[in-house]
Amino acid sequence: SSSVASSNSIINGDRHDPFYYEVLRKDISATKKFVLYYNKYTDLYRELAASQDKDRDAEKMADLMAMHERLAQMKAEILPVGET
């Protein structure tokens, strides 16, 4: 079947198969999104870390935790199983 052949070309690194480039493009795109989102996460983390406990915005803390979960999901989508 062609999907098996395409999958094998990814595993074997057959750069002549257009499917190889499609998978590579998606991986790079997902990685770029992760980096952009991670930068937003670290900015918010630093902002909250610099504030006093009593002054921390509960909504921003909730946003930070939600971003943390989303980053974990994104990482799991990017990395092969067992590398997270």
Query: 3-state SS string over 28-39?
Result: HHHHHHHHHHHH
- What is the pLDDT at residue 7? 46
Q: What is the pLDDT of residues 40-81, one digit of tens each?
A: 999 999 999 998 888 789 999 999 999 999 999 999 888 876
Q: How far apart are CA 80 and CA 84, in angstroms?
A: 8
**For the segment 32-51, what is each residue's pLDDT rounded down to a tens digit?**
889 999 999 999 999 999 98
**Amino acid, single-letter form, for residue 45:** Y
Tokens of 8: 């094998």
Q: Buried b / exposed e across 6-42, counting CB within 10 Å, b at 16+?
A: beebeeeeeeebeebeeeeeeeeeeeeebeeeeeebe
Prediction pTM value: 0.64
